[in-house]
Amino acid sequence: MSKAISGFSKLTKEQKIAWLADNYFQNPDEATSLLKQYWNDDAPLQKLHDEFIENTITNFYLPLGIAPSFTINGKDYTIPMAIEESSVIAAASKAAKFWSTRGGFKATILNTEKIGQVHFKYEGDAQKLTQFFETVKPKLFSDTEDITKNMQKRGGGILDITLRDKTALIDGYYQLHATFETVDSMGANFINSCLEQFSKTLRQEALTYAPFTEEEKHIQVIMSILSNYVPNCVVRAEVSCPVEDLNEDKNIKPEEFAQKFVTAINIAEVEPFRAVTHNKGIMNGIDAVVVATGNDFRAVEAGVHAYAAKDGQYTSLSHAKIENGIFTFWLDVPLALGTVGGLTTLHPLVKFCLEMLGNPSAKELMQIVAVAGLAQNFGAVRSLTTTGIQQGHMKMHLMNILNQLGANDNEKKATIKHFEKHTVSHAAVAELLEGLRKTDTTTIE
C-alpha cells in the first residue's frame, strides 16, 4: 500500500517521527530514541537547526576537524574542515606543514564575476528583438534599483546584461545573460531576484513595443535562474620551491619525486578516468572547508566539474611543472562563496569557523578554500607516487574499523600499537581483536 501522506508538513516534529517510526521501522521505539539521542538539549539551539530545513527530525552529525600550519600569502591559518572521510585532515595538515617551511601557499583571485540567465522564447524577427533589447536595457537596470541598492553600496551590483541568440540550438530560444558582482555574498538570492525582475520587465515592455507584431509581443519566459557555472569567478592557489627542497622522504630523491609528481599530474590532465579521481581528491579539501563555512557545496561541486570540462574534455584542475630547477604546483578553481548572508550568520559553528579564519572576505575565503584543495591534492599525489595511498589511508581508517567491531579503549590502544608495524586491513584487525578478546586486554600495553 502507498505510504503517500497529505498534510505531513503540518504535523509536529513528534508526530512526524511517530509516523516515520510506525511506517518504516521494525522497532519504532528504538528508531525514535535514536533520533532523540541526536537532539540538542539546548532547546533554542535545536529549534534553530530544526528551522534550517523542512520536516526536520533530528541532527545529522559530521565531524568538524582543524588543519593547522597553513601559511597563505604570508598569513597563518588554522583551517576548519567538516568531513566524514578519515585521512583527509591528516593529509591537509601534513601538506600545510611541508609547505610552511618552503615559502607557504600563494593564492590570487583571478576574477569574481557571477552569472544569471533569463531563458525565453520569442518567435519572430531576430533583428527586431535586438532593437527591442537595446531599448529596454536601461529599464532592466532601473526596474531592479530597489534590489540592487544595498549591493551597490557594498561595491557590487549588475555588471552587464546581454541578449544571446540560441536559436541554432532550440527554435525561438533566446537568453538575457547577466553578469553580477556580489562582493561578500554568494549572491544566489540577489541574482535570482534581479533575474525575475528582468523577466517581468521584458514581458511587460514587449507587450507595448510598437514595432513587434501581435505574435512577437508575447515573449514566453521559460525560467530565470543563476548559473552555478562561474568560469569567471576563479582563484589560483600555488606552491613552488627548488626541486632539491622536495627532500622530506628519504626513500626517494627530490628529482625523482618531482618528475614522478609532474607525470602524475600530466596523466590527470590527459586521462579523464584519472582526472575525475584526481579532482575528487581536490574536492576532499574544498568541500570540507565549504561545508564548515556554511557555503553551498553542491553549487561548488557542479561549477568546479563543469569548469574541469570547459575545453571539451574533463581534465585535471591542478597543474605542475619543473622549470629552471623550480618545482611549481598550482590549481585554478571557480568558487562562488559567501561570508555574509545565508547560514553564515545563523549557524553557530559556521560563525565559529569564520572567526577562526579571521572573519575573511569572500575573496579571502576563496583563497583559503582553493589552498585546502591544493594541499589535499599535494598530499594525495605525493602518497600515490611514493608509498601508495593505502598505507596512510588504512592507518587513519583503523579507528573506523575498530568502532565497527565494537572495540573498547584498551583494545583500540593495543591494536593501534600493533598496526604501527603491520599492514591494516579489515580482516587483519578483526583477527587481532579476536585474539585480544581471548586474552585479558586490560593488561595489554
Which residues are near ligand MEV by CB under 6 A?
Answer: 85, 277-278, 280-281, 284, 380-381, 384, 389
Q: How far is the CB of 82 from ligand MEV (least distance, A)?
A: 15
Q: Using the minimum distance from each CB to ligand MEV, give the nearer residue, 112 or 284.
A: 284
Q: Using the minimum distance from each CB to ligand MEV, give the nearer residue, 318 or 339.
A: 318
Bridge partners (DSSP) of residue 331 are 237, 318
Q: Using the minimum distance from each CB to ligand MEV, give the nearer residue, 85 or 255.
A: 85
Pairing of strands 114-121, 106-109: unpaired
Amino acid at site 445: E
User: Rounded CA gap, 344 and 338, in Å?
Assistant: 8
Amino acid at site 235: V
Pairing of strands 234-242, 326-334: antiparallel
Handedness of CA 140, 146, 150, 153 (dihedral sign): positive
Q: Using the minimum distance from each CB to ligand MEV, give the nearer residue, 300 or 381.
A: 381
Q: Using the minimum distance from each CB to ligand MEV, give the nearer residue, 212 or 307.
A: 307
Q: Is residue 42 annotated as a catalytic residue, yes or no?
A: no
Distances (CA, A) of 216 to 6, 120, 210, 223: 43, 12, 10, 18
Q: Is residue 50 annotated as a catalytic residue, yes or no?
A: no
Amino acid at site 441: T
Q: Using the minimum distance from each CB to ligand MEV, give the nearer residue, 139 or 280.
A: 280
| Contacts of 93 by beta carbon, 8 Å cutoff, 6+ apart | 67, 68, 69
Instruction: Select which of 13, 49, 85, 216 is catalytic.
Output: 85
Q: How far is the CB of 39 from ligand MEV (least distance, A)?
A: 31
Rounded to 10 deg, the angle between the 145-153 and 188-207 helix axes is: 150
Q: Give the residue closest to ligand MEV by C-beta.
A: 281
Q: Is residue 296 annotated as a catalytic residue, yes or no?
A: yes
Instruction: Select which of 347, 393, 397, 411 is catalytic.
Output: 393
Q: Render 113-128 in DSSP notation, one character per residue.
A: -EEEEEEEE--S-HHH
Q: How far is the CB of 13 from ligand MEV (least distance, A)?
A: 35
User: Rounded CA gap, 210 and 201, in Å?
Assistant: 16
Q: Using the minimum distance from each CB to ligand MEV, give the nearer residue, 135 or 277.
A: 277
Instruction: Select which of 280, 321, 412, 413 is catalytic.
Output: 280
Using CA atoms of 120, 121, 127, 130 in order, give the dihedral in degrees to the nearest 10.
-10
User: Rounded CA gap, 174 and 163, in Å?
Assistant: 7
Q: How far is the CB of 130 from ligand MEV (least distance, A)?
A: 48
Instruction: Select which of 181, 205, 287, 296 is catalytic.
Output: 296
Q: How far is the CB of 381 from ligand MEV (least distance, A)?
A: 6
Burial class (CB in 10 A: 0-12, 13-18, 19+), 434: exposed
Q: Is residue 54 annotated as a catalytic residue, yes or no?
A: no
Q: Render 245-270 in DSSP notation, one character per residue.
A: G----TTS-HHHHHHHHHHHHHHHHH
Residues annotated as catalytic (active site), given as ranges: 85, 280, 296, 393
